[in-house]
Structures are given as structure tokens and as C-alpha cells.
Structure 1
Amino acid sequence: MTIAGFLATSAMVNPAMAQSQTQTQPTSDFDQCLAELGETAVRAGVSRETATAVVAGVEQIERVIELDRKQPEFTTTFADYLNRRVNESRIQQGRELLKTHRDLLNRVTRETGVPGPYLLAFWGLETNFGSYFGKMSVPGSLATLACDERRSEFFTRQWVAALQIIDEGAIPAEQMEGSWAGAMGHVQFMPTVFLEHAVDADGDGRRDLWNSLPDALMSAGHFLESMGWNGDYRWGREVLLPENFDYRLSDGRELPLAKWREMGITDAFGRPLAREDIDASLLVPAGHRGPAFLVYHNFDVIMGWNRSEFYAIAVGHLADRIAGAGGLQVPPPEDLPALSRQQILDLQQALASRGYDPGPIDGILGSGTRSAIREFQKANDLVADGYPGIPVLNAVGIDT
């Protein structure tokens, strides 16, 4: 079915639309796909009136494809990532908002178990406390991505969910704006997350994540609760490691907190770790020269929101700062190189050629590559922290 055919079918169902919708236009591949998306939405339960109105207003957005295809030339160092996101301005604003919205935040905590500083940290990182939601048409972005073969199945689901949101009256299609990938509102929910976890917390009969802060923050709390947030514990904490520590233990393994304590790990101020019955994993996101963190189950929950360890640490640290904590005792080093994608590819190929399996050779510094780096470091008398620092690059002959 072409888009003209879809609109004509809709006009037959609703004759009032016929006069404005029966003009035929040349059919493009996008038009064909858009018509099919309209029918997919109708089959999923979206009213034909809503589907027709949204389809008629959608245009392909080439900029969305450019952004989806674009790969950053250089990786971001942990210092750059954290310092940009957890800065004094955001910390102070978060502390002020903690007071301003205390009643609302306390209500969300009572109902979901998620403390206010974490809710503010997500809000701060996602939209700078509601100051920028994104200016892209969500239906247009999602239709553009759904009609692109790279991730069509995923974005088709998001498209249908977006139309279901419009159909339920949460927001008019022309006001549904967000990021280029379709994330929406104060806390940047994707449409499928919205459908499953958004709530009407202000009692006005709509789930409005754009204009209602109670709806947005309560929805964030419910989403985190659904992923298993444990209100009895924090996200993790900065720790100090003893001299001659075996950094191979920073490979993501979980050990009881008592075990880490036995190894001589202390809190960030040199005090013994608490004797709590909880498992933790060790992270050294900037290698052995940077800060170390023991992270708990709630860290994994944050990762369920965004699969970046840098993001999850930033959320946890910003929440701590908003709650009144000070900065890191070991700041991330700012002199580490930002590696290019090509350098990571070269490193992966060099490791593979030496018998260390980095996983897919894709220019992405994932867990497989870090594991291969650790094994290479161990075999070459380097600190086995899994970090691709200058000693590793020099050892495999990569220019820095």
C-alpha cells in the first residue's frame, strides 16, 4: 500500500477526511514504508483517525539518519565525561531543587523506594532539569528510523508505541518532540518505556512527561523500581585500593563486601568498609591512576536505564553530590589520551594477532577488549587494569 492508498482507505473509513486526503502524489520508498507503518499501527490497536492524522503530518528527516550513522571520531575519557556532567552548576541547582520539590520527591520515594537525589540526578543528566527536551518531531524521527533497514524492527515498535501514546490523549502529535532517536520528556523515556512505566501522578487524567513534573518523576521512580531498585542501599561508593593490588579483579566479578574488605580496600577516606551482607563489583574507569569504585545492585539498575558505565557512575556521583557529599578523593586524571576509533581498531587487531581475544574487532572499547588488555598487561609486566593507556599502546606499536 502507498501512502496515498493508506490515506484514501482512511478517507473511506472517515468520509470527512476525503476531500483533503484523496490527492495523489508520486510514491517514494519512504512513502511506501510510511503507509505500511500506518497500517502496522492500526493493526496494533491505534485508531485509524489517529494513524491517518499522524502519517499525514510526517516527513522524512535526513538529519536523523546522519546522527544515527555518525560515530564519534574519538572516545571520551572518563575525566571529560564526568566533569562535563557533574559540575558545580548542576550540583548547586540539584541541591536547590531538592528543597523546592521536597514534598514531591518524598512522595516518589515512599511509593517506589528511590531517593530524591537519584531522581534529580537522572533528571539533571537527561534534560538538565527540564531545560532541554529535544526539538525533533518524535513521529517524524521514529518513522525515519523505522524506514531505515539498520534498526527497523526496534524503531517500528517505538513508532507504534508513540502513536498509542498520542491515541490515548497524552499529548498531541504536533507537540510530541524529543531527541533524534525518539526519547521524550523530562526524563527522556522511549515510547515503549512510556507505555509500560509512565503514570498519572498529578491526577489530571493524562500521563504527561513533558508538562507535568509529578508525572515525570513518579514515572522515573516506577521505572527504576520495576528494574529492582533496592531502597536499602546506595549505588556504590568510591574506595581506596591497597598498594600492589591485583587489578585483574576489576573485571566485573561480584564478591561479598567482606571479601573486598579482607583485601585491604577501604572507603575513600581510608576507613574500613562496613560489614554489610552485600555483593559488589570493582570498577576502575580511568585505569589504575584514577578513582576506584565498588558498585552494588543499584548500579546495575542504573545501567538498565543507560548501558554506559560512565553514565551510571555519573548518576551515582551526582546523586551523592546533590545529597551533600564532596568530590572524589581521587579525581580522574585529565592527561589520558582520547583514543580514536581507528586506534581502538588497531589495538584490537594487535591483541588478536598476539593471541588475546578482544571479541568483535569493531573499534568499540567493550568488556571483551578490556579483558584482552588485562591478559596482555599481565603477560608484559604492566598493571593489569584493562585500560588502554600509553604503555599498552606503545607495547603493541600504536602511535599516540
Structure 2
Amino acid sequence: MPLKFARPVTLAFAFTALCSSIASAQTAPPACGGDLNAFLANVKAEAVAAGVPASAADKALAGAQIDQKVLARDRAQGVFRQTFLEFSQRTVSQARLDIGRQKLKQLAPVFERAEKEFGVPAGVITAFWAMETDFGAVQGDFNTRNALVTLAHDCRRPELFRPQLMALIQMVQHGDLDPNTNTGAWAGEIGQVQMLPKDITAYGIDGDGDGHINVKTSAPDAILTAAAFIKGLGFRAGEPWLQEVEVPAELPWEKSGLGNEIPASEWFKLGVKPRDGDTKFGNLNAALVLPQGRKGPAFLAYPNFGIYLHWNQSFIYTTSAAYFATRLAGAPTYLKGNPEPNLDEASMKALQTKLEARGHDVGKIDGILGSGTRTAVQKEQKRLGLPADGWPDAALLQAL
């Protein structure tokens, strides 16, 4: 009857293993925080266990330091108070459009390859290139290795940044990054389109044929790597991402907003009209996006718009980047309309406080129109019989 002995023996082994695990945990360096040298030794051990030569790990980590400026930026609250009209008119400038079109001509063979191999149009890549670094001119001056060591060592979000540090060690191993001189954004993004090391190691393309992937100094490498990454985010070749439309005076506004997608053909039946007259994508689901309400610019956001939200979660940034790409593809300047004046910071905080009191989750009371506040605004507009376009104005504040 050996099965009678199986369970006790298994438990004995499990108990022994547990004791061993506890002992190891008590003596092993912590995954974050604590002595920096112990932390770096722990990182090196993990890299070596993953197959990285010890010499490469040593080269990547030698001289690493905690950057207090990185911690300060990480702790700072991101403030994004500009409206879509303000932000898009500043970022999608005529000068940037002119430079972007020059780049499209100068690097035409590279962009053709990007679209052929990955299905990503040149304008989509170029818009990110422009908005992230002004075509490589402003890439950040934080030492990338130190930034990632700092954020991985810090115990606030180590699960996000330790894998990025591991990827950076791989880049050093392959000769694609000098840990002592490479600079970028405070959160570890690198290069002309500001990508994290893990994405570069996963999607990197040697576009100039020099045997290395250098998204910092090589435009072909940056362009093709961005194209591969964008495809990896789910971009669907041959489909639109954003289309400007004109809206009628009356519409079921509560159907507008991201997350309320219906076939574009249904929007057309409701009186929504593409400015370019193109309705051939009516079979695709689309959301009616009204960045500043029904009286401001209006767009249909198609499934490809989702890649913008993966790239950057700010609604204003993503809509501006997507609009930029349509301009490079030949679309005209949007119609500004005449939107209701936006609430100032104090009034927005007052509105958020009232929304929260009614049970809505608006996040932090910070005076910023985030996705939670937009959703709550739309629900309260509908409840009060106001046009539910998600744009907070004085009438809503007064009604509440």
C-alpha cells in the first residue's frame, strides 16, 4: 500500500524545501531597495542566470548610481491641463509638418520598407517621431542605465523597471548601447521615437545594415524599429486610424466617446459626415471622439486608434498624434468649431468634488480632465437632460 506513504513523504520534502526557501530569502539581497551594491549583485545574478555573460553584466552595471533627479521626476504629478485645441495647435505646427514632409522624401526608401514589411504608413511613424523628440533633436539627457537602476531599485514600481534594466544589459551585451554615455528620458526611454529597452530588444531592426540597432543616432533603425513595434501593438494595415467628421446639431451624444464603438456606417446614418467624403470603411467599428464637446473638432476613431493609446495613455496626446499622422497623409487642418469655454482649475476641482459626491470615480481631485472625469461628466449630463458629449462646462457645474 505505497500510496499511504506518498502524502507524508511529499509533505516532508515540501517542508524541507520551504525551510530552505525561507533561509535563502533571509540571506538573499532584496529585489528592490536596500544596499545598492547588493541590489546590483542581485541584478547581475539574474542576468547571468538568463544567459548573459558575467562580463557583459559587469560592463552594464559598473559605476551605476542612484539619480535623485529621476526619483523627483517619478514622484512629480504629471500635469496636463491643456485642451486639445491648445495642445494640438502647439505640437502639430506648420514647421513640424514641413520638416516631417521633408523627412518623408529624404527617407522614402526606409518608409517604403516599413510599410511593405509591417503595414504601417509613413505618416504614423513620422508623427510619433516629431512629437516624441522633434525628429531626434530632443532625446533627453538622463543617463539611461542610471535611470533604470534608480527606478528598478526604488520599491514603488520595480516590476515595471527591472525587466527594462535586464533588457538594457542585453543591449550592452550586443554592443548596441554604451551604458556610460547613453542618455534618454528620465523613465528610460531611448532614441528618436523614445522606446524602452525591452521593446527595442523585442522589435529592434538594423535599418542601416551596420550590424547594430541604434535607435538614438540611426534614423533608419529608429523608423523600422518603430514600425515593427507599432505592428506589434496591433496596427491593422490598410485601415484608417482617425477621420475628421462634421456632426449634426442633434445627435444621441451619449453614444460618443471612446468605449462606445459602433459601425461607422451607423454614425453616417445618424448624420455624421466625413470631411473627406470617404465612407468605404463603414463596416469598421468607430467611436465618435469629441475632444472639446459637440461644438469643437470631431473625429471618428477606428480600431487602429488603439495603438496610440498603447503608446501613450493621455487622450489629448494620442488624439493629437493621430491627427498629426492624418495631416501628413494629406488631411486638411481640422475645423476648430466654437466649443464651450473650458473650466479653470478651481472650477474643475469643484466639479470633480461634486461628481465624487454623487458616487463617480474621478480619481484624484486635481482639476485635470482625465478619462474618469469625462465618463462621469457624460453620465451626469445624460441624467440632467443636457447634451451628453463629455465636455464639462459652466452649465453642468451650475446644474450640479
Equivalent residues of 2:242, 2:326 under 8 A apart: no
* Residue among 230, 235, 241 paired with 1:235: 241
Letter in 2 for 1:147: H
Aligned mates of 2:74, 2:316 — CA distance in 1: 21
Structure 1 residue identity aligned to 2:383: A
Structure 1 counterpart of 2:300: 294
2:242/2:300 contact within 8 Å kept: yes
2:387 is aligned to 383
Aligned to 2:355: 351
CA–CA distance in structure 2, aligned partners of residues 65 and 194 of structure 1: 24
For the 8 Å contact 1:237–1:295, the answer to whether it is kept is yes
> Equivalent residue for 1:23?
none
1:370: which partner in 2? 374
Cα deviation for residue 102 of structure 1 reads 1.3
Which whole-Å deviations, capped at 9, do the CAs of 1:236-260 have from their partners, x for residues lacking one? 2111111122211113211111111
Label 1:143 to 1:272 Cα distance change in 2 as closer, same or farther (>3 A).
closer
* From 127, 135, 139, the counterpart of 1:133: 139
Distance 1:332 1:192, change over 3 A: farther
139, 158, 166: which is aligned to 2:172? 166
Q: Is the 8 A contact 2:144 2:188 kept in 1?
A: yes
Partners of 2:365 and 2:47 in 1: how far apart? 35
State the identity %.
34
Residue 208 of structure 1 is matched in structure 2 by 214
Instruction: Report the CA distance shift for 1:394/1:50 in structure 2 as closer, same or farther (over 3 A).
Output: farther
Are 1:254 and 2:250 matched, yes or no? no
1:55 and 2:58 matched: no
- Give the letter aligned to residue 381 of structure 1: G
Residue by residue over 1:213-263, the C-alpha shift from the partner in whole angstroms, topping out at 9 and shown as x without a partner, is 111111111111122222212212111111122211113211111111110
Deviation at residue 36 of structure 1 after TM alignment: 2.6
SS of residue in 2 equivalent to 1:189: coil
The equivalences for 1:72-151 within 5 A come to 72=78, 75-151=81-157
Question: How far did residue 97 of structure 1 move?
Answer: 1.2
Say yes or no: does 1:267 pair with 2:274: yes
- Structure 2 spans left out of the alignment, 5+ residues: 1-23
Q: Does 1:315 align with 2:318?
A: no
Question: C-alpha separation between the residues in 2 aligned to 1:314 and 1:334?
Answer: 20
Q: Which deviates more from structure 2 when the two are superposed, residues 220-229 or residues 39-48?
A: 39-48
Q: 1:241 to 1:70 in 2, by over 3 A?
A: same
Kept after mapping to 2: 8 A contact 1:349/1:361: no
1:367–1:28 distance in 2 versus 1, CA, 3 Å: closer
TM-score (norm 2): 0.85
Question: Which residue number corresponds to residue 5 of structure 2?
Answer: none
Q: Between Structure 1 and Structure 2, how many residues are aligned?
A: 369
Asked if the contact 1:75/1:338 (under 8 Å) is kept, the reply is: no
Which 5+ residue runs of structure 1 have no aligned equivalent?
Answer: 7-26
What is the TM-score with the length of structure 1 in the denominator? 0.85
Q: CA deviation at 1:74?
A: 5.8
* Range with bigger deviation, 374-383 or 29-38: 29-38
Q: Is the partner of 1:175 in helix, strand or coil?
A: coil
Structure 1 residues 275, 131: closer, same or farther in 2, change over 3 A?
A: closer
Shift of the 86–297 alpha-carbon distance from structure 1 to 2, 3 Å rule, reads same
